[in-house]
Amino acid sequence: MLASGILGSTASLLKRVEEAGAGAVTTKTILPRPTKGFSNPVVVDLPFGMINAMGLPNPGIDEFERELREARSEINIPIIGSAGGSTPEEVAHVAGRLQDAGADAVEVNASCPHVRGHGVELGSTPEMMRELVREVRRSLRVPLIVKLSPMVPDIRSLGRIAVESGANALNAVNTMRAMYIDVEAMRPVLSNRFGGLSGPAIRPVAVRCVYELADLCDVIGTGGVESWRDAAEMLLAGAKAVGIGTAIRRKGLSVFSEIKVGLESYLLRKGLSLRELIGRARI
Ligand code: SIN
């Protein structure tokens, strides 16, 4: 499935991802009000991934509702609306409106590592996670997914609290707070100085997080998946779905069909069904 944060801001982009072979799509994180985001530069590409600090640019829920209704009428796969905000009440408000505009599930962004007052700052302690998930749960009928940060001391405890508070599934993981300095200019490259590291560099961390969470509830494995082998690793760790984000920037939309074809021949070679693969490395 398409991970939140890339190609998720308009109906036409989401449609292109469906046509490329994704099994589900996640929107960009939507906030209560329009936000311009940070000024350039907002992305640094690295050999082993990328660091982004976009600043949660988005049209706000009023505007995005129209886009989501259009997407809903044109797209045949599940659409997951990503909800953000600076308080549990704000996130719950956005979540309810994403649901009403046609989202099949809502993902709470409790994990963006670099926008003050958002993301990981809302869900990094057990108390905050409990309050956030309970509040959002109250406004939803559709399944609730909580996207977790890998930058917490005990992701399993936090995941358990999210599930006990009403989450139906967890997404592991969002990006890791990082920095890149240009040694010639002798200053950080990103305008926000800090950003979120994604891509192959964080895959082993993401796999570990999936492994630690997969017996608590359904888990979406996200973080550095670029090939069928990477997807197989997530599934073996116990993920029931795999999120693709940064790989689209690095390899293009053909990454979805490439992974599907590769996984199919791997399963054939191993004589296993997809169901039998899930969690098989859990010992
Ligand atoms: C951003 O918009 O800066 C990234 C969002 C995220 O990491 O959740």
In the chain the domains, ranked by start, together with CATH numbers, are 11-37+57-177+200-282 (3.20.20.70)
Q: Is the CB of 196 under 6 A from ligand 1?
A: yes
Most informative mutation of 56, 174, 246 for ligand 1 (most atoms within 8 A of CB): 56
Q: Whose CA is nearest to atom 2 of ligand 1?
A: 56
For residues 224 and 239, what is the distance between their CA atoms, to the nearest angstrom?
14
Q: How far apart are the CA of 55 and the centre of ligand 1, in A?
A: 6
Q: Is the CB of 235 under 6 A from ligand 1?
A: no
**What is the structure's pLDDT at 135?**
98
**What is the structure's pLDDT at 191?**
98
pLDDT tens per residue across all 283 residues of the chain = 999 999 999 999 999 999 999 999 999 999 999 999 999 999 999 999 999 999 999 999 999 999 999 999 999 999 999 999 999 999 999 999 999 999 999 999 999 999 999 999 999 899 999 999 999 999 899 999 999 999 999 999 999 999 999 999 999 999 999 999 999 999 999 999 999 999 999 999 999 999 999 999 999 999 999 999 999 999 999 999 999 999 999 999 999 999 999 999 999 999 999 999 999 999 9
Q: How far apart are the CA of 97 and the centre of ligand 1, in A?
A: 20
Selection from 51, 159, 34, 52 nearest residue 108 by Cα: 159
**What is the structure's pLDDT at 184?**
98
Q: How far apart are the CA of 157 and the centre of ligand 1, in A?
A: 24
**What is the structure's pLDDT at 8?**
93
* pTM given for the model: 0.97
Q: How far apart are the CA of 119 and the centre of ligand 1, in A?
A: 8
Most informative mutation of 27, 31, 58, 115 for ligand 1 (most atoms within 8 A of CB): 115
**What is the structure's pLDDT at 103?**
98
Q: Is 217 considered catalytic here? A: no
Q: How far apart are the CA of 58 and the centre of ligand 1, in A?
A: 11
Q: Is the CB of 8 under 6 A from ligand 1?
A: no
**What is the structure's pLDDT at 55?**
96
Q: Is the CB of 58 under 6 A from ligand 1?
A: no
**What is the structure's pLDDT at 270?**
98
